[in-house]
Structure 1
Amino acid sequence: MAEKEIQSLPQSTPNGKEALGDIEVAPEVIEVIAGIATTEVEGIFGTRGTFATGVAEKFGKKVHGKGIKTEWTEDGLIVDVYCVVQYGVAVAHVAREVQRQIRESIENMTDLQTKEVNVHITGVQFEQAANSKAE
Structure 2
Amino acid sequence: MAEQKYVSLQQDSGKINGNVEISHQVIEILLGIATNQVEGVYEMRGTISSRIDSLFGRINHGKGVDVSFADNQVSADVYVYLEYGVSIPKVSLEIQKSAIEQLEFMTDLDLSEINVHVVGLIAKKETGDIERVTTDKKE
Quickly name the TM-score band, shorter chain normalised.
0.7 to 0.9
Residues 82 and 121 of structure 1 are in contact (CA less than 8 Å); yes or no, is this contact kept in structure 2? yes
| Paired position in structure 2 for 1:114 | 111
**Percentage of identical aligned residues:** 33
| Paired position in structure 1 for 2:40 | 43
**Going by fraction, where is helix more abundant, 1 or 2?**
1
**Going by fraction, where is strand more abundant, 1 or 2?**
2
Query: How far 1:108 sits from its partner (Å)?
Result: 0.5
- Find the aligned partners of 1:36 and 1:94 in 2 and give their Cα distance: 15
| Paired position in structure 2 for 1:66 | 63
Residues 75 and 115 of structure 1 are in contact (CA less than 8 Å); yes or no, is this contact kept in structure 2? no
RMSD: 1.9
Give structure 2 stretches of 5+ with no counterpart.
130-139
Q: Judging changes above 3 Å, is the alpha-carbon distance between structure 1 residues 69 and 5 closer, same or farther for their aligned structure 2 residues?
A: closer
Residues 43 and 85 of structure 1 are in contact (CA less than 8 Å); yes or no, is this contact kept in structure 2? yes
**1:34 aligned onto 2:37:** no
CA deviation string 1:64-104 (max 9, x = no partner): 00000000012611110000000111000000000000011
**TM-score (norm. length: structure 1):** 0.87
**TM-score (norm. length: structure 2):** 0.85
- Find the aligned partners of 1:5 and 1:121 in 2 and give their Cα distance: 26
Residues 86 and 126 of structure 1 are in contact (CA less than 8 Å); yes or no, is this contact kept in structure 2? yes
Give structure 1 stretches of 5+ with no counterpart.
none
